[in-house]
Amino acid sequence: MYNLILITNILRILDEKGMTKSELAKKAGVSIAFFTDLTNDKANPSLRIIEAIAEALETPLPMLLDSSDMKLTDLEMLAKRKPGKLPKGFVWKGGVLSEYEAYQVDQWDKKNRTFLSKETKKNKIKAKAKNQ
């Protein structure tokens, strides 16, 4: 689970900074092969390597290990980079918020998840009816 959290956060920050995996690997002083294994959940980095990655990303180390309140399924979706899971117009963003802002975001998140769940059910029903 912790590797999944680490991988998800690294990939998210890479996207936010517009960096490639190879750029990060070079900047962190690790081989691209190791970094590829890490992002494919086939390697277990030492704390020194995690620290080097955090420094290369110019991100505090705890941010790489922050799981926030995400569900395991959401972490897996983000780590596997399956953008098809989110319809057009929806994005996932992480950030540091005040408690009030976090409350507001939680409310929006619940509303959007309810909407997406209903849309998914509608689409499954349509697909099932079409196949019959």
For 34-54, write each residue's pLDDT tens digit: 988 888 888 889 999 999 999
pLDDT of residue 82: 47
CATH number for domain 2-64, candidates 1.10.645.10, 1.10.3470.10, 1.10.260.40, 3.90.1150.150: 1.10.260.40
pLDDT classification of 118: cutoffs 50, 70, 90:
confident
Task: State yes or no: pLDDT of 126 exceeds 80.
Answer: yes
Structure tokens at 36: 């590829």
Task: State yes or no: pLDDT of 90 exceeds 90.
Answer: no
pTM tops 0.85: no
Asked which of 6-10, 84-88, 115-119 is least confident by mean pLDDT, the reply is 84-88
Sketch the domain layout of the chain as residue ranges: 2-64, 81-131
